[in-house]
Amino acid sequence: MDHLVLQKMQRLKGMLGKTAKLLHSARMVLSLLGAMEKTAKDGTAGVPNLQLYDLKTGKCLKSFIQKKMQNWCPCWAEDESICARSVNNEIHFFEKNEFNTIAHKLHLQKVSDFVLSPGSQPNKVAVYVPGSKGAPSFVRLYQYPNFGGPQSALANKSFFKADKVTMLWNKKATAVLVIASTEVDKTGASYYGEQTLHYIATNGESAVVQLPKTGPIYDVVWNPNSTEFCVVYGFMPAKATVFNLKCDPVFDFGTGPRNAVYYNPSGHILVLAGFGNLRGQMEVWDVKNYKLISKPLGSDSTYFAWCPDGEHFVTATCAPRLRVGNGYKIWHYTGSVLHQYEVPVNEELWQVSWQPFLDGIFPTKAVTYQAVPSELPNAEPKPAQAYRPPALRNKPVTSSKLHEDEPPQNMKPQPGSIDKPLSKTALKNQRKHEAKKAAKQEARVDGSQESALPPATQNIPCNPMPAVTSGDPEVDKKIKNLKKKLKAIEQLKEQAASGKQLEKNQLEKIQKEGSLLQELEDLELGF
C-alpha cells in the first residue's frame, strides 16, 4: 500500500510540474490536494482540492472544488488579462487574476473542452460539445466576451464520429483545426479507432480536410505564418501533406517512416520525423522551394525542439520513456551534430529545454544546403541488416520490402519516362510488332523506289490515290477514337509541362498513352 501511495504522489507531482510549466508566465501555481473527487458523505461540498497561489508572495488567491479529472486545468491568455476555467455546463472567465468575481460566463449544455486563442486581444475561445442521442458534436468559436447565444458565435462546425477532439489555433487566431477521434473504428480497419480533420475559420468558413490515404492522423501542425498546415497521416509508411487555408493540398511529401512534423520558428524550414517506436529518421525540407535539405538520423530520440534562432534543433533520449542511453544532441538543420551529451551510467535525463527568447530577436536567414562543419565525428550506427540464414549469405540480396515508399511529388517520374520490365509474353508481342513495322517500312521503301520513274513516265497523268482505309467501318471508327484520345493526352502533357497541376484522372489518362499507341499500331498493321 505504501508503494502504491508513493506512486500516486509521484504522478501528482509530475502533473504539478507540467502545470507549472504551462503557467510559468501567469505567476500562478496550482496545488492539487488529495483525490480529484472530494465530497462529504452527507452530500455537502468537501475540502477544496484545487488552489491558486501567487508565486511572488506565496499567498493562496483562491481555492476551488474540482470534481472532474479531465480538462481540469485553468487556462490563461498570453497577456494574463483573462483566466478561464470549466465548471459543469459553463466556462467561467476571470479578469486581472481577480478570482473572487466571475467576470463572464459561457453557458453550453454538456460543454466538454475549450481552448483560448494565442496572441493579443481581442481574445477568442473555441469550445467543444460532444454529441448525444443521435445529435452531432460541434465546435463553436466565440470572441470574448460576446457569449449571447448561438447567433453570437463567429463560426460553428458540426460533425459525427467524435468521442474526443483536439483543437489547434493558428498563431494569428484566425482559424482552428479540429482532430475528431473515436475510440472504436466500426469498420474494423483500425485498432486505434477513427480520426477526421476539420477546419474552422473565424470568418465562418469551415471544411473537412480530405486526406488521400486512410489510417490514423499522427500529427497536425500550423505553419507559424498561419497560412498553411502540415498533416502526417495514413497507415505506415505514412504520408505527409501541406494544405492551404482552402484545405487544398499544396505539396505532397510522399510516404515514409514518420509520425511527427515540426516547423521552425520562422516557418521556412520543416522537419518530418519518425520517433517513438520508429528509428528516428528525419527529413529537413526547405518550405519555400520544397527541396530536401538533409536526412539525419536521431536514433532512440524521445524529444525534439527547434532552437528560437530557427537554425538548430535538439533531439534527446529522456526517462521515463527510455531509461537507457539518456542524453541529447544539438543539430544544425543541414544534418551536422554540433554538440552531444551523454548522461553518466546510473543517472537519468528527464527534460531538455531551450532558453526562451522573444519573437523577432533572431532574423530569418536564407536556407543553405551545404552541411555545416562539425568537430564531432559522425558516430550514427549503420542501419541494422536483416537476418539471413547461412545458406543465403553468399548469394545476391533480393528486395523484400513489404511496402514501396511513394516519393515526394517533385521527385516522381514523369509518365512514360521510365520503362517497366516486360514479361515474356509482352517481349514476344513486342518482337512481332517490330517485325511487322520493319516489313511495313520495307514496303514503303519499295514503293518509293518504284515511284522514282523517268521524267517521261512521271508526266503520265494518273488518278489520285484514295485515303487508306481498312475496309471495315468498325476498325476505322476505333482508329479515329484512338487518335482522338492520343490528341487529348498530348494536350494534357503540354498543360503539365507548363506547370499546371493535373487531376488524378488526368494523370491516369497520360499513363495509358503507351497502351493506346500499341493498340493503334495493331489496328493499322492489321490492314
| 333, 293 contact by CB (below 8 A) | yes
- What 8-state DSSP symbol labels residue 26? G
Q: Cell numbers for 37, please give them.
A: 473527487
188 pLDDT band, cuts 50/70/90, is: low
* Amino acid 175: pLDDT: 92
Q: Cell numbers for 363, please give them.
A: 532574423
* Amino acid 397: pLDDT: 66
Closest by CA to 153, choosing from 112, 201, 82, 208, is 201
Helix (H, G, I), strand (E, B) or coil at 250: strand
Measured between alpha carbons, how far is 193 from 362 in angstroms, rounded to an integer?
A: 42
Measured between alpha carbons, how far is 106 from 85 in angstroms, rounded to an integer?
A: 10
Neighbours of 324 (CB within 10 A): 10
What integer is the mean pLDDT of 149-159? 83
Phi-psi region of 397 (alpha: psi -120 to 50; beta: other; left: phi over 0): beta
| 521, 486 contact by CB (below 8 A) | no
| 328, 316 contact by CB (below 8 A) | yes
Q: Where are the domains of the chain?
A: 1-36+48-73, 80-208, 222-375, 485-525
pLDDT greater than 90 at residue 492: no
* Amino acid 421: pLDDT: 52
* Amino acid 346: pLDDT: 86
Burial class from Cβ neighbours inside 10 Å (0-12, 13-18, 19+) for residue 379 reads exposed
pLDDT greater than 90 at residue 223: yes
Higher pLDDT, 525 or 289: 289
Measured between alpha carbons, how far is 107 from 95 in angstroms, rounded to an integer?
A: 18
Measured between alpha carbons, how far is 338 from 377 in angstroms, rounded to an integer?
A: 10
What integer is the mean pLDDT of 441-448? 58
Q: What is the pLDDT of residues 503-516, one digit of tens each?
A: 778 888 888 888 88
Measured between alpha carbons, how far is 114 from 127 in angstroms, rounded to an integer?
A: 4
* Amino acid 70: pLDDT: 80
| DSSP secondary structure of 269-310 | EEEEE--TTS--BEEEEETTTTEEEE--B-TT--EEEE-TTS
User: To the nearest 10°, the Cα dihedral for 393, 394, 397, 398?
Assistant: -90
Measured between alpha carbons, how far is 435 from 431 in angstroms, rounded to an integer?
A: 6
| 176, 169 contact by CB (below 8 A) | yes
Q: What is the pLDDT of residues 252-287, one digit of tens each?
A: 998 998 999 999 999 999 999 998 888 889 999 999
What integer is the mean pLDDT of 467-483? 73
Query: Cα angle vertex 17, ends 124, 169, to 5°?
Result: 20
- Mean pLDDT rounded to a whole number for the chain: 78
Q: Which is it for the CA torsion 438, 440, 446, 449, positive or negative?
A: negative
Helix (H, G, I), strand (E, B) or coil at 243: strand
Q: What is the pLDDT of residues 114-146, one digit of tens each?
A: 899 888 778 889 999 888 887 888 898 998 888
Q: What is the pLDDT of residues 296-334, one digit of tens each?
A: 988 888 999 999 999 999 999 998 888 888 999 999 999
User: What CATH superfamily classification does 222-375 receive?
Assistant: YVTN repeat-like/Quinoprotein amine dehydrogenase (2.130.10.10)
* Amino acid 243: pLDDT: 94
Closest by CA to 241, choosing from 285, 278, 306, is 285
Helix (H, G, I), strand (E, B) or coil at 205: coil
| 355, 389 contact by CB (below 8 A) | no
pLDDT greater than 80 at residue 468: no
List Cα–Cα distances, 405 to 210, 251, 270, 401, 446, in angstroms. 21, 16, 20, 9, 52
pLDDT greater than 50 at residue 46: yes
Neighbours of 341 (CB within 10 A): 12
- What 8-state DSSP symbol labels residue 460? S
pLDDT greater than 60 at residue 418: no
The pTM of the whole model exceeds 0.85: no
Helix (H, G, I), strand (E, B) or coil at 389: coil
Q: Where are the alpha helices (DSSP H) in 173-228?
A: none
Q: What is the pLDDT of residues 10-32, one digit of tens each?
A: 454 454 444 444 444 434 444 44
Identify the weakest region by mean pLDDT among 10-14, 252-256, 455-459, 519-523. 455-459
Identify the weakest region by mean pLDDT among 38-42, 156-160, 202-206. 38-42
Measured between alpha carbons, how far is 93 from 259 in angstroms, rounded to an integer?
A: 36
pLDDT greater than 80 at residue 447: no
Exposure of 523 in the CB half-sphere (CA atoms within 13 A)? 22
What distance, in Å, lies between the first and last C-alpha atoms of the chain?
93
Query: Cα angle vertex 233, ends 229, 236, to 5°?
Result: 145
Q: What is the pLDDT of residues 76-113, one digit of tens each?
A: 888 888 888 888 888 888 988 888 888 888 888 888 88
Q: Cell numbers for 523, please give them.
A: 489496328
| 510, 415 contact by CB (below 8 A) | yes
* Amino acid 354: pLDDT: 92
* Amino acid 308: pLDDT: 93
424 pLDDT band, cuts 50/70/90, is: low
Burial class from Cβ neighbours inside 10 Å (0-12, 13-18, 19+) for residue 471 reads exposed
* Alpha carbon 349 to chain centroid, angstroms: 29
Query: In the chain, what's the furthest Cα-to-Cα distance?
Result: 127
* Amino acid 442: pLDDT: 63
| DSSP secondary structure of 39-83 | B-TTSSB----EEEEETTT--EEEEE----STT---EE-TTSSEE
Q: Where are the alpha helices (DSSP H) in 115-186?
A: none
